[in-house]
């Protein structure tokens, strides 16, 4: 099948040809014609499989072919969880709008609010945005959505994870009319929270799933290494950065402070490394991403801020220096490599604090993984036995008399509040962690970007 078989408008077809795309990917083959019928979609396919064009192409087709419902309101709104991803999609969209009468604008948190008000007053046809900031503008009446034809939620599950359901509903409600179409995309859409949300927002959505979220990504080779402690992880990272043939590398850590620390450590060794975290100003973030995407640095050290959607074709290796707190982020993090048919390596370090997260990933992917070893860097940690055995072993070891006197103290649960620096500068709520409270890594600041 080829793009020309979709019956697209000739101008749109010329753009696709000009960009060098000939054959649609599997998700594009299914999602483009389905979206062109006007129905709502919940579409999932693996990372790097071309989901962006699967919504940009039908959106362009709709704008070219259909009459607008209103003179002033935006016709298409595309929402994304992070500013970096929104910028990337905006860049791609601009390749399609260039040379047409359609104007596209980018509205992100962390950027000048008043400039955005002026931009919105120019009545753009497309808005690409992070939900927090866009909802702010909507609340203040800087634009209206009565004429919105197409609402696209990319990485929809992540936006819900980050606590944006209220803003998404607000945007949805402002555009609640019969002709509105909604498209949801992600590599991981099959969980209950998304379903509930989709039911509320979407009208009889068609589900398109190319493989399940746990389907093995054949282009990404996964390796796991047991680690004793931080120094051990660092030694392993050093080892791989010396021995692996890499083009560019992304290293994911659990905390913002570790991104800086590791970047300094690697830079001191003469490696070309840079840290990206939500703590930085937007202009610093832009500079870092621009530099890294141009290949000015070889190693990007970051948090789950960069786990979603970023399409950096030279990333050959992804390291999970720490395993992710949210299980599905594993799929997204490793999906920064092995994109559009190229291959990649994902190397994960599993220490005592990562163990539960590792087991959750095994459960999610419905696989059990073997550990590899580096000869001179073997550790002592062999994993943690399942809870039941631990309890039995402990009972045997302790004296019965002592047990009778001992009263179990209820655990104190320390409430943390999170303040985000991303996705529209609003406080974000992390959905209830899947980890039991006693397993949460207390040394680590849980981070949300």
Stretch that binds ligand ADP, among 46-54, 136-144, 203-211, 342-350 (CB under 6 A): 46-54
Question: Which span (43-51, 110-118, 222-230, 345-353) binds Mg ion, by CB under 5 A?
Answer: 43-51
The span from the CA of 37 to the CA of 44, in Å, is 18
Give the chain's largest Cα–Cα span: 84
- Residue 46 sits in the site that holds Mg ion (CB under 5 A): no
Per-residue burial over 211-250, b = 16 or more CB atoms within 10 Å of its CB, e = otherwise: eebeeebebbebebbbbeebebbbebbeebbeeeebebbb
- CA-CA distances (angstroms) from residue 237 to 76, 103, 157, 330, 347? 44, 45, 31, 18, 9
CB 344 → ligand ADP: shortest distance, Å? 13
Minimal distance in Å, beta carbon 349 to Mg ion? 26
Cβ-based neighbour number of residue 199 at 10 Å = 9
The nearest distance, CB 395 to ligand ADP, in angstroms, is 49
User: Across-strand partners of 319?
Assistant: 251, 347
Residue 310 C-beta: closest distance to Mg ion, Å: 9
Among 12, 32, 34, 50, binds ligand ADP (CB under 6 A): 50
Query: Closer CB to ligand ADP, residue 25 or residue 293?
Result: 25
In this structure, what are the phi and psi dihedrals at residue 209, rounded to the nearest 5 degrees? Answer: -130, 115
The reply to whether 131 sits near ligand ADP by the rule CB under 6 A is no
Q: Please answer whether residues 315 and 249 qualify as being in contact, where contact means their C-beta atoms are separated by less than 8 angstroms.
A: yes
The Cα-based distances of 266 to 253, 272, 302 in angstroms read 14, 7, 14
Question: Restricting to residues 302-331, which ones interact with ligand ADP according to CB under 6 A?
Answer: 309, 311, 313
Q: By CB under 6 A, is residue 25 in contact with ligand ADP? A: yes
Q: Which does 374 bind (CB under 5 to 8 A by kind): Mg ion, ligand ADP, none?
A: none
Is residue 21 within the footprint of ligand ADP (CB under 6 A)?
yes
Q: Tell me which residues in 328-357 interact with ligand ADP (CB under 6 A).
A: 339-340
Torsion from C-alpha of 155, 157, 162, 166, nearest 10 degrees:
100
Q: Which is nearer to ligand ADP, 311 or 329 (CB)?
A: 311
- 248 forms part of the interface with ligand ADP (CB under 6 A): no
Q: How many residues bind ligand ADP (CB under 6 A)?
A: 17
How far, in Å, CA of 394 to CA of 391, rounded? 5
Q: Are 16 and 8 in contact (CB under 8 A)?
A: yes
**Looking at 43-51, 239-247, 277-285, 418-426, which segment touches ligand ADP (CB under 6 A)?**
43-51
Q: Which is nearer to ligand ADP, 257 or 342 (CB)?
A: 342
Pick what 311 binds: Mg ion, ligand ADP, none; C-beta below 5 to 8 Å, kind-dependent: ligand ADP
Minimum distance, C-beta of residue 332 to Mg ion, in the bound complex (Å): 9
Residue 24 binds: one of Mg ion, ligand ADP, none (C-beta under 5 to 8 A by kind): ligand ADP
Pick the stretch among 7-15, 44-52, 57-65, 364-372 that binds ligand ADP (CB under 6 A).
44-52
Spatial separation of the C-alpha atoms in residues 64 and 417, rounded to whole Å: 46
Task: Give yes or no for residue 49 binding ligand ADP (CB under 6 A).
Answer: yes
Pick what 344 binds: ligand ADP, Mg ion, none; C-beta below 5 to 8 Å, kind-dependent: none
Site string for Mg ion, 287-316 (x = CB under 5 A): ----------------------x-------
Query: Token digits for 7?
Result: 């019956």
Order of strands across the sheet that contains 206-209: 104-107, 126-129, 76-79, 150-154, 181-186, 41-44, 206-209
Site membership for ligand ADP, residue 53 (CB under 6 A): yes
Q: What is the DSSP string of 186-219?
A: ES---SHHHHHHHHHH-SSPEEEESS-TTS--TT
For 128, phi then psi, to 5°, come to: -110, 130
Distance CA 203, CA 172 (A): 12
Q: Kindly tell me which of 211 and 291 has the beta carbon lying closer to ligand ADP.
A: 211
Alpha helices in 78-202 (DSSP H): 83-97, 113-121, 131-139, 156-161, 165-173, 192-201
Q: Which does 47 bind (CB under 5 to 8 A by kind): Mg ion, ligand ADP, none?
A: ligand ADP
* 428 φ, ψ (degrees, to nearest 5): -115, 145
Question: Which one of ligand ADP, Mg ion, none is in contact with 339 (Cβ closer than 5 to 8 A by kind)?
Answer: ligand ADP
Specify the stretch interacting with ligand ADP by CB under 6 A; choose among 42-50, 69-77, 269-277, 415-423: 42-50
Nearer to ligand ADP, 222 or 339 (CB): 339
1 binds, among ligand ADP, Mg ion, none (CB under 5 to 8 A by kind): none
For 414-439, b where at least 16 C-beta lie within 10 A, e where not — what string? eeeeeebbbbbbbebbbeeeeeeeee
Binding residues for ligand ADP, rule: CB under 6 A, are: 21, 23-25, 28, 47-53, 309, 311, 313, 339-340
């Amino acid at each position: 099948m080829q793009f020309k078989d979709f019956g697209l408008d000739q101008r749109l077809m010329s753009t696709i040809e000009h960009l060098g795309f000939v054959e649609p990917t599997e998700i594009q083959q299914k999602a483009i014609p389905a979206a062109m019928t006007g129905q709502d979609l919940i579409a999932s396919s693996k990372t790097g499989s071309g989901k962006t064009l699967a919504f940009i192409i039908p959106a362009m087709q709709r704008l070219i072919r259909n009459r607008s419902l209103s003179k002033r309101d935006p016709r298409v709104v595309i929402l994304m969880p992070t500013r970096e991803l929104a910028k990337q999609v905006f860049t791609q969209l601009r390749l399609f709008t260039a040379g047409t009468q359609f104007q596209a604008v980018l509205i992100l948190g962390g950027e000048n609010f008043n400039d955005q008000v002026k931009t919105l007053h120019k009545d753009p046809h497309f808005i690409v945005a992070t939900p927090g900031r866009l909802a702010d503008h909507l609340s203040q009446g800087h634009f209206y959505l009565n004429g919105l034809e197409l609402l696209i939620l990319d990485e929809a599950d992540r936006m819900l994870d980050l606590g944006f359901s209220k803003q998404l509903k607000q945007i949805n409600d402002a555009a609640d009319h019969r002709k509105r179409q909604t498209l949801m995309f992600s590599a991981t859409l099959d969980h209950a929270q998304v379903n509930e949300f989709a039911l509320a927002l979407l009208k009889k959505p068609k589900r398109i799933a190319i493989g399940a979220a746990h389907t093995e990504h054949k282009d990404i080779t996964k390796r796991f290494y047991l680690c004793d402690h931080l120094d051990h992880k660092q030694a392993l990272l050093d080892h791989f950065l010396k021995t692996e043939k890499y083009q560019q590398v992304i290293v994911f850590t659990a905390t913002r402070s570790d991104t800086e620390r590791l970047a300094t450590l690697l830079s001191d060794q003469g490696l070309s490394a840079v840290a990206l975290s939500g703590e930085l100003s937007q202009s610093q973030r832009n500079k870092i991403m621009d530099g890294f995407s141009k290949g000015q640095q070889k190693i990007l050290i970051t948090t789950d801020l960069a786990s979603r959607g970023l399409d950096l074709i030279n990333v050959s290796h992804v390291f999970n220096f720490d395993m992710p707190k949210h299980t599905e982020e594993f799929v997204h993090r490793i999906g920064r490599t092995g994109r559009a048919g190229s291959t990649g390596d994902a190397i994960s370090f599993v220490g005592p604090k990562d163990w539960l997260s590792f087991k959750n990933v095994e459960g999610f992917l419905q696989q059990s993984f073997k550990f590899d070893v580096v000869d001179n860097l073997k550790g002592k940690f062999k994993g943690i036995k399942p809870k039941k055995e631990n309890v039995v072993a402990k009972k045997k070891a302790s004296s019965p008399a002592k047990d009778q006197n001992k009263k179990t103290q209820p655990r104190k649960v320390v409430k943390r509040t999170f303040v985000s620096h991303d996705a529209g500068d609003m406080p974000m709520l992390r959905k209830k962690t899947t980890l039991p409270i006693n397993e949460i890594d207390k040394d680590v600041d849980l981070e949300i970007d």
